[in-house]
A and B are shown apart, each in its own frame.
Chain A
Amino acid sequence: MSTIRRFRAMDMLRFNNVNLDRYTETYDLGFYLKYMASWPALFTVAEAPSGSLMGYNMGKVEGKGELWHGHVTALTVAPDCRRLGLARGLMRGLEDASEKIHDCYFVDLFVRPSNAVAVQMYERLGYILYRQVIDYYLGDGVMPTEYAYDMRKALPRDVSKKSVVPLTHPVNVEDTFF
């Protein structure tokens, strides 16, 4: 339980309890500001009753025609706020905005196969493994180089569910650009 609302610039001064987690990257200011300026409805934060930030979700929309979709760029939850269903709530918010505001066909995201907890969570939320992306994740000293699972969930606009017919072969990183 939390307040899920739009992320504001001032929230960047309060997100240390989320971003100090070693698996959460702190990006350059411009990265966050660009997402807020371009896709404000897809950049949401969960705030605890105590006022501290619990986690946030950064998303964008991209693609053309039937490939017009919402994309989850980053989803992160503070260590002491995990296993509360928060990620589920944030994902639902992004899916709603992708569907009702941006009229997308599907939502997709990349996740490390080694992150079994996350993969399971997305599967429970209705995401399927659409394709694998070769060496999407490069080793950074904390995590190794790894393929990525590109997982997708169709939205109501994709009536025939074309977007979630899985590919049979892995693809290169360049093939994922829109």
Chain B
Amino acid sequence: MEYRQLRPIYDALEGSDPQRALKECDKLLRKHPNHPSARAIKAYVLTQTGRTEEALALSLSVLETPTAMASAHAQQGLTLAFRALGRPHEEIMVYTAALAHTPNDETLHCKVFKAAARNRMFKEQHQAAVQLNKLFDNPKYIWWLVVSLLLQARDSPKNAAAQVQLKLAERLVEKAVADGNLKSVEELRVYLDVLDVQDKREQMVEVMDVNGQLAALIANDPDLVTQRIELLIKTQAYGKAVEAAIAALKARDNWADYKLYIEAVIASVDPAAAGASVSTICAHLEAWAADRDRARSAKLAQVALATRMFESGFGDAAGLPELLIWGFIDQFQEKAICYTDIMQFIIAHHKAAGKYDAQAAVIDYHWAQLEKRMPAARESAGQSDGEAQAWVNLEKVRYLMQALRGETDPSVWLADIEVLLNFGLTSKPARKKQPACSDMTLLACQRIIQAAFLAHGATSARAQLHSALFKALCVLESGIRLNEGNFMLKLYAIRLYLYLSCYERARAIYDSLSIKHVQQETLGHMILGHGMMLGCFAADMELCYDGVAFYDRFRSKMPRDIESVYDQETYSNIQDFIEFQRNLDCSVQHECTHRYALRGEGFEYGSAKEMVARWEEADTRSIEHTEESLGALHDNRDISVMGLLTPKELAQWDLELLTRPVPMPGHEWIQAFSLVPQIMHHMVCAEIELLQIKSSELAAIVDKHDNALPRSDLILIRGIIDMVALYIQATDQQHAVDVQLDKLVEDVFEDYFEDTWSDLNKKDLLK
């Protein structure tokens, strides 16, 4: 009967027609003014039409109706309303009120739990889990309770209750084990987490060393195998760690296990006989290196071991790092990944050599090796893609060496550039579109860009710099034409086009990369905001809205994904999902996207009246920031994707840094563009005191951090500060004029009405 009454409303909602749904709600309520389900669903529909204040008032009123929650329709309507309004406490109150009618409804108890879990209300989640365990005999709820206790303790680790919660969680798990209720690897991971948070590492090892079912779970989970080795190292059981690592490496080729093996060995090295101490691992690595399927990992592990021994002061106990580095390069240079593999060890070795004042000697050694190999590599590059790749890798090492020795002569960077360009763009392999040619083109561009900044990086030489970068762009475009699929060429092209203020082409290349969804968080910074700086507002606003929509979708859907972890009982995901949610909720790019959108809308072309109305209506409370909230923002912008060949510390050779068209928006920018909308709002609302405060804050940011803000943004901000100063001055003057006028009128009345009017009339007139 109730469903039949509500059917037209549901049909309208299913047809995505909230206006019609609202009409149907009102129609029903005219006949039955106190229909709880209609009221509840109307509250939800009001949220869909943007009438949030009405929705909230109605929702709270329905919640206060004792009998309303007896209806499932009312429950659903109201929970949806509170969810849309972002009121999780009230959502839980709906379920609690419903439970008053059906106290043993397991589904409702689960809904309470999941509502709390979705919203990271750990205390309420815990309480709901306790109820579930008390009322229902389902082993799953034990784990829900354990996870709730763990989350609560992790959320407030310094809280005195945290220790009690963890002890309770541990006892619950031990009981579950004793009762045979620990059956899955997910439950095992929860057990280990509970112990890990309490730093009970030895106990974790004991748990992982038991026989029987648990052992089988661990053996089938590679991550747990690695975790066990890690634990053995942390508990200083180096001998067992070594044994476990060897056993793991015999079963599979896994870099994480190699690293731990090396760590365990180095931790147990006898300083008096370092060579002998590492002989077993060296023998193992040698044996594994002879196996073609695992040669690359074993060889790199040899390099890693030698480098670590050298760093730790054990000299060449595991071999000379530089010899092993070149041994690795010689064997694997035909693989595109060779340079990425070996780069960190070349840098680490060079850095460690600093202790012995031997950095120059290390570079000389590497340089000599390059000179020995380069001619032959260039000669044979045309024979196959592998040979070409070998040359590319050597050229990358050459690039690194030049940076490490601090080469600032642009001509050195451009030496042999024609050779690289010919191979990359016009050679026979290039015409066959061999991937290595595309890599060579990129490398040549990187050299041109590097040389350009070294030669013309000073602000007085902008024209020459731009001219040089334009040449790099020509090379990039040729490379892209030959290999449309090489995204690195495109990323550099986007950067350079923006550097040269060419938004349209930069945007076209960006669009060709089909960047979407989570990539808006990590790669959106490459283009977002640059359009506005160059006068292309509409194009930039389009991207802003895509970005805002992504964050809104994420915010509404992520809680469901957290909930599903409990349904699927894959508890190891919880902490990871929560961390991810926090990261995206409070991220630098998220804040920047919203500010760009607000700025674009606020300063959109239109009449003055429209602009004033926009600023008057703008909700600026939600974008206020404190030092603390700024400090809590996560920066997920991906800059490593540009494939740098040099370590980050060498700023002068950091192409990602050099090619930034403007300083990347950081805390100062976010704070400045949080203040700008607030200032505009206070100005149109004539809130002078607040205006003065915010304007001073903005001026302080500009004074302190003007080199952290893009020039065009600085011009806008300074303009706003000047405008505020003028406005305040005019207001003060207006105030002074008003006061004078009031005084004048009073004097006139006083003189004029003294004889002819009574006090009462005078007061009325003065009003």
Contact = CB atoms under 8 A, between A and B. Distances in A.
Interface of A: 1-6, 8-10, 12-14, 16-17, 19-23, 26-30, 33-34, 36-38, 40-41, 47-50, 52, 54, 79-85, 89, 93, 96-97, 100-101
15 contacts: A1-B294, A5-B226, A6-B572, A9-B580, A14-B522, A17-B643, A26-B518, A29-B558, A30-B560, A33-B564, A49-B304, A50-B340, A52-B340, A79-B435, A80-B439
Contact of A6 (B223, B296, B485, B641): B223
Contacts of B643: 17
Interface string B555-584: 001101100110010101100110110010
Contacts of A37: 561, 564-565, 568, 570, 573, 577
Interface string B624-660: 0000000000001010110100000000000000000
Contacts of B638: 13-14, 16
A96 to B, nearest CB: 7
A2 B254 CA distance: 6
Interface stretch (B509-517, B700-708, B717-725): B509-517
Contact of B572 (A14, A27, A40, A54): A40
B636 A13 contact: yes
B296 A1 contact: yes
A5 B256 contact: yes
B389 to A, nearest CB: 9
Contacts of A5: 222-223, 226, 256
B691 interface: no
Nearest to A19: B519
Contacts of B255: 1-3, 47-49
B294 A12 contact: no
Interface string B253-264: 111100100000
B346 to A, nearest CB: 12
B583 A13 contact: yes
Interface string B80-114: 00000000000000000000000000000000000
Contacts of A9: 573, 576-577, 579-580
B293 interface: yes
Interface size of B as a range: 35 or more
Given A1-B255, A1-B296, A5-B226, A80 B336 contact: yes
Interface string B181-203: 00001100000000000000000
Contacts of A33: 558, 561, 564, 577
B460 interface: no
B297 interface: yes
A14 B637 CA distance: 9
B255 to A, nearest CB: 5
B622 interface: no
B170 interface: no
B286 interface: no
A5, A19, A83, A85: most-surrounded residue (chain B CB, <10 A): A19
Contacts of B231: none
B300 interface: yes
Contacts, number: 146
B335 interface: yes
A145 B274 CA distance: 62
Contacts of B697: none
B306 interface: no
Contacts of B564: 33-34, 37-38
A101 B570 CA distance: 13
A50 B580 contact: no
A108 B336 CA distance: 30
Given A10-B583, A13-B583, A40-B570, 5 more contacts: A4-B222, A13-B522, A34-B564, A36-B573, A84-B337
Contacts of B220: 96-97, 100-101
A61 B435 CA distance: 36
B513 A20 contact: yes
B439, B518, B570: most-surrounded residue (chain A CB, <10 A): B518
A37 B336 CA distance: 34
Contacts of A2: 254-255
A48 B258 CA distance: 12
A100 B217 CA distance: 9
A93 B222 contact: yes
Contacts of A34: 561, 564
B521 A13 contact: yes
A49 B576 contact: no
A3 B254 CA distance: 5
Nearest to B521: A13
Closest 6 CB pairs of A and B: A1-B297, A9-B580, A3-B256, A80-B336, A20-B487, A33-B561
A80 B396 CA distance: 14
Nearest to B338: A80
B568 A29 contact: no
A6 B222 CA distance: 9
Nearest to B295: A1
Contact of A20 (B296, B570, B641): B641
A158 to B, nearest CB: 19
Given A13-B518, A13-B583, A21 B341 contact: no
B344 interface: yes
A5, A17, A54, A81: most-surrounded residue (chain B CB, <10 A): A17
A100 B424 CA distance: 48
Contacts of A82: 336
Contacts of B513: 20
Contacts of A83: 335
A8 B581 CA distance: 12
A82 B337 CA distance: 9
A48 B337 contact: yes
A5, A6, A14, A80: most-surrounded residue (chain B CB, <10 A): A80
